[in-house]
Chains A and B, each alone.
Chain A
């Protein structure tokens, strides 16, 4: 018995030592599910090239900001700028968030592939999400009820969408369904004939159909030159000016390899 306990204690101390050692060499990222794919492919690349471990969690922009404030990550990934309250909370405990724009992203409005609607105006989308338009017929589609899909309150995508399309301070209809990630929204839209949802441009594939907003299709050029109306920057946030491996990691977005990874994932370089 005693022997077993000693053995256990030995292993535990070893494990603690191991994590403590790893902490110096690990970059921890937390935050947006939209920025997640970029962060992950950067992480794989970075680990392979420099031998430094990078862990990426995707828990939403809000959680990312919280993690940075609580010192549980070295880089917070956000799909929206930090809010005034978050900055105030950070300042209060001596954290100084610094924003780095790493890429641009268009928010694509997506519908079921069988939906004939090709284009919506911003005002139409806004009425759909406010609940004043409930049938596809009213926006030039078939006679079918609209299933409105939004993201949870934790999501930077949801915040951007509200700000860019619905308008600040406007309530989204309480009939709107809420999904927890870009992937879940895509899944629901691709399997529900009457659904409409919004996705980061990088998540759009053939399983859903993206519609043009104000007549402009969400494409990489239209996002880049700013003509697509629902465009937003994506951020890495650090506590103070980055240095060492963290700085190297962030500057990856400016290197040729980094830019290639960003565009391969469907996002847009600045």
Chain B
């Protein structure tokens, strides 16, 4: 008992344990919420014809889809399936949800990674610019720009960009079918450019604010004054002493933005026709395929929890001060 308690007072097992409990709660909530979906698997599969089914036919179909069982049994059956890698079957396509997810997930991850690259490329230099003259014109201008970027919803920016830019330039990379990075790297990157930029802009604001605050905070530290006093050249001071330390909170912030990116991916994938995991959820909701939606939502939440866990652990690894706690 004591040894168990000691094991759990260490950050790693405790955080992993918390994540496991959270995921269990997530699966329960997902199940409860999505089981309220109006219409069921039978109406989804047979459409209007479902109205002409006899009570016996409906009963046998319910048994076929496993929805005649009591809800707790259905939940445990689903959870058991998920834990053994069986995420269910999409009635419309006949494919397993695991296969669909395996196809869609890499596209979403690629989109998220590219968006993070864009967000960092915009946010870090922006934050450095704002911090270089705090309270002055360029700080104000950068702050205003970041506020506006924060206030423009991704779906609006994406719609405007997809409509006008594509029309003006006659450039429709997303008009043709989607190609994965492995199938056609050049076309794939063209197809990803606009959605990644739109999503990148949406996370650039928090990155910028974090970079600015971190630089201002570190510049006031004693070791920076010491370095300056012993004659470290300004450029080297900026990069080696200030920026490198300022990037620690930026990395954390970027990790925490991952969930926001998954939200944004719902919208961007829909507008730019990228067959990612967000689109899989929307398609499932529109076709009332709760097996698809339920498992996909769980997969997304699980990824989110794992990324947050990793961010936390990386943070502890990078910043020795956190490790002491």
A and B: interacting chains: no
